[in-house]
């Protein structure tokens, strides 16, 4: 009917506006605009009105369908895509009933795998756009897609033309999520979005069937008995971690997690008297013979930007300050120059170390033995793993090669665990030099390749523990751990922790897909 491309583009954009109309008023405005666009095509206009708008507009126009819960599903495209996928699984034209059901079973299994992978990402990952204080109580308990919708709704509040009277409450009525007018109430009061305000659809992060929670006498005997059975099956490492978590729950006063320190004077600029006192320098302190190293240490600006990616390992440059007794002592100025050079380098390394330490969750601070920084060239994650295995960081090509071999030798199993898309992403990041390591999923491959427990620490995306998938977990031994930390937004370092440190959350895919040998 419409053969001119420009007219077709105009019709398509206007039709999309009509379908997305939020109110009856906006629907009428967009409908009149559609009539103008199709003024030259009366047959097309008649077809649209008689076959679609007059009969079925309540089934696809947002002004009607968004009055009830639909969770964003307002088309049949998903059904059609699964029909096309079924055709791909059916290699021949003629299939018996059992073969046909086998193809359907394969599709369902692939869907379950993708769903479990998405649930795992929603539980473990914390994306940058979700680092808003109002979302604190939702992290790890709500689907990533729900958080994306809430963030998009929050952006409406920044629109200068936004009016609370025209909110429409579309997100609340159609998706079961707080709309803009409700979010503004939480923002003004400084409250977090309560978990109960999110529909159970978005809070369901597993595919197992469960009984609905009712107002009844809740007991824990069955759960405790099941916990005891699982506890007795675990290795000593996991047992210590579980006992520590129970102690934190039963006796919070014994936990190693402390309340954050409160800044006593967070506002205002220093008074003139304090500024003059800070600028005043004692002449005696300029004498290098009377000036102690501790005084020099506390004169460093704590806000100074450290040199990035410097190694934490202390060098032996300090030995250059020990004079040779057979040589003439250096002049005062040259000695101070040499001291200043070493001092600046040492303080730069110290400042870098403190910066890295601040990016590690505080619960692990009492257990940190050392931090080892590596070269930031896109291979930093594999360099950190090499250090964790007792190698040098220059052995990162060997780590990549070993992981590629593991992924290729168990390709079918890993595709089942991560899904086809997830497997391809992990394989490409491991296969090609310079590609960043993706944690925590790659941690499962590392743990299974070297039969080690892989712990990844992150103060942004959440810390995880990955056990081997195909072999029994190693017993309690500090040499059986590979601990890395995600810092600076995209860099990995190696962390050495003393024995007895708390294990982070176990990777959900390991819990779901571990082999019988790994369970024992």
DSSP lists the bridge partners of residue 457 as 485
Bigger pLDDT: 474 vs 480: 480
In this prediction, residue 407 carries a pLDDT of: 92
DSSP 218: -
Q: How high is the pLDDT of residue 386?
A: 92
Mean pLDDT of the chain, nearest integer: 75
Residues in the chain: 520
Going by pLDDT thresholds of 50, 70 and 90, the confidence category of residue 175 is confident
More confident residue, 205 or 318: 205
* Structure-token pair, residue 379: 């291979």
User: Which residues, other chains included, contact 353 with Cβ-Cβ below 8 Å and sequence gap of 6+?
Assistant: 312, 371
Quick check: 161 pLDDT over 80?
no
Q: Determine the Cα–Cα distance for residues 116 and 98; give it in Å rounded to an integer.
A: 27
Give me the pLDDT at residue 123, please: 84
Q: What would the pLDDT profile of 184-204 be if each residue is shown by its tens digit?
A: 888 888 888 888 889 888 988
Q: What is the pLDDT of residues 497-515, one digit of tens each?
A: 888 888 888 888 888 888 8
- Taking each helix axis from N to C terminus, what angle separates 411-431 and 441-450, rounded to the nearest 10 degrees? 110
Lowest mean pLDDT: which of 354-358, 389-393, 406-410, 491-495? 354-358
Phi and psi torsions of 298, nearest 5°: -80, 0
What's the pLDDT at 335? 45
CB 473 within 8 A of CB 235: yes
pLDDT at 121 over 80: yes
Query: Is residue 298 over pLDDT 70?
Result: no
Domains in the chain: ranges and CATH:
5-65 (no CATH), 70-207 (no CATH), 358-519 (3.90.70.80)
pLDDT exceeds 60 at position 224: yes
Contact 181, 167 (CB under 8 A): yes
Q: Return contacts of 274-283, CB within 8 angstroms, 24+ apart.
A: none
Measure the CA–CA gap between 20 and 61, rounded to whole angstroms.
Answer: 6
Residue among 193, 198, 151, 195 nearest 172 (CA): 198
Task: Locate 270 and state its tokens.
Answer: 């220093």
The residues, any chain, with a CB within 8 Å of residue 192's CB and separated by 6 or more, are: 133, 134, 135, 136, 137, 138, 186
The whole-number pLDDT of residue 321 equals 38
Instruction: Output the pLDDT for position 216.
Output: 56
**Gap between the Cα atoms of 510 and 468, Å rounded:** 8
pLDDT reported for residue 300? 35
Higher-pLDDT residue of 24 and 109 is 109
pLDDT tens for each residue of 425-469: 899 888 887 778 888 889 999 999 999 899 999 887 678 899 999
Give the per-residue pLDDT at 285.
43
Q: Check if the beta carbon of residue 461 is closer than 8 Å to that of residue 501.
A: no
pLDDT on residue 208: 67
Rounded percentage of the chain residues whose pLDDT exceeds 90: 9
pLDDT at 305: 43
Give the pLDDT confidence score for residue 269 in this predicted structure.
Answer: 54
Measured distance CA(74)–CA(198) in Å, rounded: 20
Provide the Cα torsion 215, 217, 222, 225; round to 10°.
120
Of the candidates 346, 428, 423, 437, the one whose C-alpha atom is nearest the C-alpha of residue 384 is 437
d(CA 122, CA 147): 10
């Amino acid at each position: 009917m419409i053969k001119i491309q420009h007219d077709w583009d105009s019709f398509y954009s206007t039709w999309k506006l009509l379908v997305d109309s939020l109110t009856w008023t906006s629907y009428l405005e967009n409908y009149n605009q559609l009539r103008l666009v199709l003024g030259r095509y009366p047959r097309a206009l008649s077809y649209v009105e008689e076959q679609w708008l007059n009969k079925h507009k309540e089934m696809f126009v947002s002004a009607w369908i968004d009055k009830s819960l639909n969770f964003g599903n307002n088309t049949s495209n998903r059904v059609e895509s699964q029909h096309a996928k079924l055709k791909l699984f059916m290699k021949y034209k003629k299939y018996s009933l059992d073969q046909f059901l086998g193809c359907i079973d394969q599709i369902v299994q692939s869907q379950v795998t993708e769903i479990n992978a998405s649930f795992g990402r929603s539980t473990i990952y914390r994306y940058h756009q979700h680092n808003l204080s109002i979302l604190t109580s939702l992290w790890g308990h709500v689907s990533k897609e729900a958080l994306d919708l809430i963030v998009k709704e929050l952006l409406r509040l920044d629109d200068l033309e936004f009016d609370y009277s025209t909110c429409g409450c579309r997100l609340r009525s159609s998706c079961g999520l707080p709309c803009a007018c409700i979010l503004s109430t939480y923002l003004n009061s400084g409250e977090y979005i309560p978990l109960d305000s999110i529909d159970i659809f978005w809070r369901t992060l597993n595919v197992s069937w469960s009984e609905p929670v009712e107002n009844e006498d809740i007991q824990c005997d069955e759960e405790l008995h099941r916990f005891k059975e699982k506890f007795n099956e675990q290795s000593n490492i996991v047992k210590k971690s579980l006992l520590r978590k129970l102690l934190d729950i039963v006796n919070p006063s014994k936990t190693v997690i402390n309340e954050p320190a409160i800044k006593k004077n967070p506002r205002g600029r220093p008074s003139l008297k304090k500024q003059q006192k800070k600028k005043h320098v004692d002449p005696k302190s300029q004498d290098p013979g009377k000036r102690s190293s501790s005084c020099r240490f506390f004169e460093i600006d704590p806000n100074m930007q450290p040199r990035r990616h410097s190694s934490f390992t202390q060098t032996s440059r300090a030995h250059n300050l020990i004079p040779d007794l057979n040589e003439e002592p250096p002049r005062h100025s040259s000695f101070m120059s040499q001291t200043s050079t070493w001092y600046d380098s040492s303080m730069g390394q110290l400042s870098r170390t403190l910066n890295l330490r601040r990016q590690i969750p505080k619960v692990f601070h009492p257990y940190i033995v050392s931090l080892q920084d590596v070269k930031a060239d896109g291979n930093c994650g594999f360099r950190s793993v090499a250090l964790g295995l007792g190698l040098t960081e220059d052995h990162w090509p060997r780590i990549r090669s070993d992981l590629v071999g593991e992924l290729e030798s168990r390709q079918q199993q890993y595709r089942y665990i991560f899904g086809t898309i997830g497997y391809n992403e992990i394989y490409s990041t491991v296969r090609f030099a310079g590609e960043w390591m993706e944690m925590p999923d790659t941690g499962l491959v590392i743990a299974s390749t070297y039969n080690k427990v892989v712990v990844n620490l992150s103060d942004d995306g959440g810390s995880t523990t990955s056990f081997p998938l195909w072999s029994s977990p190693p017993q309690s031994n500090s040499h059986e751990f590979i601990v890395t930390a995600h810092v600076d937004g995209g860099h990995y370092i190696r962390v050495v922790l003393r024995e007895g440190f708390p294990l982070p959350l176990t990777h959900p895919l390991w819990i779901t897909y571990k082999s019988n040998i790994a369970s024992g």
